[in-house]
Structure 1
Amino acid sequence: MVTFSALVAGLFGLLLLGGGTYLVTLGGSAYYVLAGGGMLITALLLYRRSAQALTVYAAVLFGTLVWALWEVGFDWWQLGPRGGLPVLLGLWLLMPFVRWHLKRAAASPSLASPPALALVVACLLSAGVAGWSMFVDPHDINGRLPEKGGQTAADQRGIPDGDWWQYGRTPLGQRYSPLAQITVDNVSHLKEAWRYQTGDVKRPEDVGETTYQVTPLKVGDTLYLCTPHNWAIALDAATGKEKWKYDPEAGLNPNRQHQTCRGVTYYRDAAATAGAACAERVYLPTSDARLIALDARTGSVCTGFADQGALHLETGMEHKPAGYYYSTSPPVIAGRKIIIGGAVNDNYSTQEQSGVIRAFDVDTGALIWNWDSGNPTETAPLPPGRTYTTNSPNSWSVFSVDEILGLVYIPLGNQVPDQLGMGRSAHVEKYSSSIVALDVETGRDRWVRQTVHHDLWDMDVPAQPVLIDLTRPDGTTVPALVGPTKQGDVYVLDRRTGEPILPVTEIPAPGGAIPEDFTAPTQPVSALSFMPRPLQEKDMWGVTMFDQLACRIQFHQLNYEGRYTPPSLNGTLVYPGNFGVFNWGSVAVDPERQVMFGMPTYLAFTSRLVPRADIPPPGENEKGSEQGLNRNEGAPYGVVMGPFLGPLKIPCQAPPWGYVAGADLNTGEIAYKHRNGTVYDMTALPLPIKLGVPGIGGPIITKGGVAFLAAAVDNFLRAYDLTTGKELWRARLPAGGQATPMTYSLADGRQMVVIVAGGHGSIGTKAGDYVLAYALP
Structure 2
Amino acid sequence: MIRVVIALLILLLGLAMTAGGGWLVSLNGSPYYLVAGAVLVLCALLLLMKRRSALGLYALLLIGTLGWSLWEAGLDWWALAPRGALLVLFGLLLVIPGVTSPIRGGRAPLLLAVLLSTAVAAVGYYQDPHDLNGELPGPVSPDAGHSELVPKGDWHAYGRTALGQRYSPLTQITPDNVTRLRRAWVFHTGDTDTTTFEATPLKVGDTLYLCTPRHELIALDATTGVERWRFDPDIEPELNRRRQICRGVAYFPGHRQPPLATVERTNPQPEEMLAATGSERDSLIDPEDLHCEQRLFLPTADARLIALDADTGERCARFGDNGEVNLWNGMPNPEPPLYYPSSPPAVTDQLVIIGGLISDNVSVSQPSGVIRAYDVDDGRLVWNWDPGNPERTEPLPEGETYSASSPNSWSVASVDEALGMVYLPMGNHTPDQWGEQRDPDAERFSSSVVALDLATGKVRWVFQTVRHDLWDMDVPAQPSLLDLDTPQGRVPVLVQPTKQGDIYVLDRRTGDPVLPVREQPAPASLGYQTVATSQPSSALNFNPPPLRERDMWGATPVDQLFCRIRFRQLQYQGRYTPPSEQGSLIYPGNFGVFNWGALAVDPVRQVAFTSPSYLAYVSTLVPRKDDHSRHVSSRGPGANENYGAPYAVKMKPFLSPLGLPCQQPPWGYVAGADLRTGEVVWRHRNGTIGYPSPIALPVTIGVPDIGGPIITAGGVAFMSGGLDNKVRAYDLTSGRTLWEDHLPIGGHATPMTYLDDTGRQILLVVAGGHSAIGTRGPSRDAVIAYVLDDAAAEKDVDQVR
TM-score tier by shorter-chain length is over 0.9
Alignment of 1:407-446 (within 5 A): 407-446=421-460
* Alignment pair present for 1:74 and 2:75: yes
Deviation at 1:625, TM superposition (A): 9.0
Counterpart pick for 2:129 among 127, 132, 138: 138
* Alignment pair present for 1:386 and 2:371: no
- 1:120: which partner in 2? 111
- 1:700: which partner in 2? 710
Alignment of 1:357-368 (within 5 A): 357-368=371-382
* Alignment pair present for 1:477 and 2:490: yes
After superposition, the C-alpha distances for 1:682-706 in whole angstroms (9 at most, x for unaligned) are: 4332212211111200111000000
Measure, in 1, the Cα distance between the counterparts of 2:458 and 2:134: 43
Q: 1:568 aligns to what SS in structure 2? A: coil
Counterpart pick for 1:607 among 596, 599, 619: 619
Measure, in 1, the Cα distance between the counterparts of 2:244 and 2:362: 16
Q: 1:193 aligns to what SS in structure 2? A: strand
Measure, in 2, the Cα distance between the counterparts of 1:512 and 1:546: 33
- 1:43: which partner in 2? 44
- 2:85: which partner in 1? 84
Contact 2:338 2:359 in 1 (8 A): yes
User: 2:526 is matched by which residue type in structure 1?
Assistant: A
Question: Percent of pairs identical after alignment?
Answer: 56
Judge which range, 685-694 or 461-470, deviates more: 685-694
Measure, in 1, the Cα distance between the counterparts of 2:328 and 2:407: 16
- 1:461: which partner in 2? 475
Q: Unmatched 5+ residue regions in structure 1? A: 110-114, 204-209
- 1:206: which partner in 2? none
Measure, in 2, the Cα distance between the counterparts of 1:391 and 1:255: 22
* Alignment pair present for 1:505 and 2:505: no
- 2:690: which partner in 1? 680
- 1:25: which partner in 2? 26
State the TM-score, normalized to the length of structure 1. Answer: 0.95
After superposition, the C-alpha distances for 1:383-420 in whole angstroms (9 at most, x for unaligned) are: 12211110000000000000000000000011110000
* Alignment pair present for 1:195 and 2:209: no
Contact 1:257 1:624 in 2 (8 A): no
- 2:667: which partner in 1? 657
Judge which range, 247-256 or 175-184, deviates more: 247-256
- 1:635: which partner in 2? 645
Q: 2:118 aligns to what SS in structure 1? A: helix
Contact 1:175 1:701 in 2 (8 A): yes
Deviation at 1:43, TM superposition (A): 1.8
Contact 2:407 2:443 in 1 (8 A): no
Alignment of 1:216-231 (within 5 A): 216-231=201-216
Measure, in 2, the Cα distance between the counterparts of 1:540 and 1:313: 46
Q: 1:323 aligns to what SS in structure 2? A: helix
User: 1:519 is matched by which residue type in structure 2?
Assistant: V
- 1:207: which partner in 2? none
* Alignment pair present for 1:520 and 2:532: yes
User: 2:107 is matched by which residue type in structure 1?
Assistant: A
Aligned residue-pair number: 757
Runs of 4+ deviating beyond 6 Å: none
* Alignment pair present for 1:689 and 2:689: no
Measure, in 2, the Cα distance between the counterparts of 1:315 and 1:660: 43
- 2:391: which partner in 1? 377
Deviation at 1:275, TM superposition (A): 9.8
Measure, in 1, the Cα distance between the counterparts of 2:547 and 2:335: 39
Measure, in 2, the Cα distance between the counterparts of 1:151 and 1:376: 40
Q: 2:233 aligns to what SS in structure 1? A: coil
Deviation at 1:615, TM superposition (A): 9.5
Contact 1:615 1:638 in 2 (8 A): no
Deviation at 1:99, TM superposition (A): 3.3
Measure, in 1, the Cα distance between the counterparts of 2:358 and 2:565: 36
Q: 1:559 aligns to what SS in structure 2? A: coil
- 1:496: which partner in 2? 509
- 1:176: which partner in 2? 167
Counterpart pick for 1:774 among 769, 776, 786: 786
- 2:15: which partner in 1? 14
Contact 1:255 1:623 in 2 (8 A): no
- 1:292: which partner in 2? 306
Deviation at 1:253, TM superposition (A): 4.1
Distance 1:202 1:681, change over 3 A: farther
Measure, in 1, the Cα distance between the counterparts of 2:149 and 2:752: 18
After superposition, the C-alpha distances for 1:156-212 in whole angstroms (9 at most, x for unaligned) are: 152111111011011100000111011111111011111111111125xxxxxx400
- 1:553: which partner in 2? 565
State the TM-score, normalized to the length of structure 2. Answer: 0.92
* Alignment pair present for 1:726 and 2:736: yes
* Alignment pair present for 1:594 and 2:594: no
Deviation at 1:748, TM superposition (A): 3.4
Contact 2:429 2:443 in 1 (8 A): no
After superposition, the C-alpha distances for 1:664-690 in whole angstroms (9 at most, x for unaligned) are: 000000011111111226433221221
User: 1:220 is matched by which residue type in structure 2?
Assistant: G
Contact 1:233 1:246 in 2 (8 A): yes
Measure, in 2, the Cα distance between the counterparts of 1:333 and 1:173: 12
Deviation at 1:150, TM superposition (A): 4.0
Distance 1:573 1:50, change over 3 A: same
Measure, in 2, the Cα distance between the counterparts of 1:429 and 1:13: 53
After superposition, the C-alpha distances for 1:275-327 in whole angstroms (9 at most, x for unaligned) are: 93212111100111111111111111112111111111111112111211000
Deviation at 1:620, TM superposition (A): 14
User: 1:539 is matched by which residue type in structure 2?
Assistant: D
RMSD after superposition: 1.9
Contact 1:696 1:738 in 2 (8 A): yes
Contact 1:489 1:525 in 2 (8 A): yes
User: 1:16 is matched by which residue type in structure 2?
Assistant: M
* Alignment pair present for 1:585 and 2:597: yes
- 1:326: which partner in 2? 340
Contact 2:185 2:786 in 1 (8 A): yes
Contact 2:174 2:715 in 1 (8 A): yes
Contact 1:254 1:622 in 2 (8 A): no
Distance 1:545 1:614, change over 3 A: farther
- 1:646: which partner in 2? 656
Measure, in 2, the Cα distance between the counterparts of 1:614 and 1:649: 33
Contact 1:151 1:471 in 2 (8 A): no
Deviation at 1:749, TM superposition (A): 2.2
Measure, in 2, the Cα distance between the counterparts of 1:419 and 1:47: 54
Distance 1:147 1:721, change over 3 A: same
* Alignment pair present for 1:563 and 2:548: no
Q: 2:93 aligns to what SS in structure 1? A: helix
- 2:246: which partner in 1? 261
Distance 1:187 1:275, change over 3 A: farther
Deviation at 1:98, TM superposition (A): 3.6
User: 2:608 is matched by which residue type in structure 1?
Assistant: M
User: 1:116 is matched by which residue type in structure 2?
Assistant: R
Measure, in 1, the Cα distance between the counterparts of 2:162 and 2:173: 24
Measure, in 2, the Cα distance between the counterparts of 1:761 and 1:625: 18
Alignment of 1:302-313 (within 5 A): 302-313=316-327
Distance 1:566 1:724, change over 3 A: same
Q: 1:630 aligns to what SS in structure 2? A: coil
User: 2:649 is matched by which residue type in structure 1?
Assistant: V
Deviation at 1:621, TM superposition (A): 10
Judge which range, 280-289 or 611-620, deviates more: 611-620
Counterpart pick for 1:745 among 755, 758, 768: 755
Measure, in 2, the Cα distance between the counterparts of 1:718 and 1:564: 33
